[in-house]
Amino acid sequence: MKLLVRVLFILFILIGVLIAVSNRQPVELALWPLPHLMVMPLYLLVIGVLLLGVLGGLGMGWWAGRHHRRRARVASGEAVRLEREVQRLRQTDTPSTAEPNRLGPRDQKSLERQSALVASELSAVPTARGPFQ
């Protein structure tokens, strides 16, 4: 993969040099709200427009991914909250079989929710079975 990236990088540099060498004629660029003309070589104009296109595409990709980043942030916060809750529940005394309702209702609901999450994750993971099982 590194070799492919380096080869493509060298290829793009060579194409940029070819554009610069073959398009050195000066051009006048007048942008509507600006009162003055800019005179620049044609290759700078071509490379500048290509660079603006790349930056525009990167910006649009970043903007399109905002929903995924927000969802990941929320999921990360939820995971941290659940981990704290698990630690808090582990620090409390574990109930014995004789006293099943020793936890409060909030703790009992949290424990049930954690058990349901773990059970759903375990059922989704395929188990490796040997030939004699």
Distance CA 109, CA 116 (A): 10
pLDDT at 126 over 70: no
Q: Regarding predicted confidence, which is higher, 90 or 96? A: 90
pLDDT tens profile 3-47: 999 999 999 899 988 988 898 899 998 888 888 888 999 989 888
- The overall average pLDDT reported for the chain is 83
Q: Mark 46-58 as b/e (b = at least 16 C-beta within 10 Å).
A: eeeeeeeeeeeee
Domain-by-domain residue ranges, the chain? 2-65, 78-92+105-121
Burial group, residue 89, by CB count within 10 angstroms (0-12, 13-18, 19+): middle
